[in-house]
Amino acid sequence: MTHETEQGHRLDPIRMGALLKDVPGKWVALRGDEIVEARDTFDQVVIALHERGIKDATIIRAPAETESELVGLG
């Protein structure tokens, strides 16, 4: 499913599972559908992004295969 912004830009969904499968348990910085940095800790990712001058990345943690999934509370 493709979405369009108010400015007319096309947004394709990001396939997170496929994108994160090679970095289980890592903190990951994303730009669109590209991993720009992957490190063991959040702080390491922030420092690496700062050193590279990257200010427009989203940081998330890729779950490890052994971790349980938390869908919701209650």
What pLDDT, in 10s, does the model give residues 21-73? 899 999 999 998 899 999 999 999 999 999 999 999 999 999 888 887 666 66
Residue 71 token pair: 């869908």
**Cβ of 45: how many Cβ atoms within 10 Å?**
22
* More confident: 47 or 18: 47
Question: What pTM was estimated for this model as a whole?
Answer: 0.72
Residue 32 parent element (H or E): none
The per-residue pLDDT for 70 is 67
Residue 64 parent element (H or E): none
Q: How far apart are CA 28 and CA 38, in angstroms?
A: 4
* Cβ atoms of 71 and 34 closer than 8 Å: no
Helix (H, G, I), strand (E, B) or coil at 60: strand
The per-residue pLDDT for 17 is 79
Q: Tell me the domain boundaries of the chain.
A: 11-61
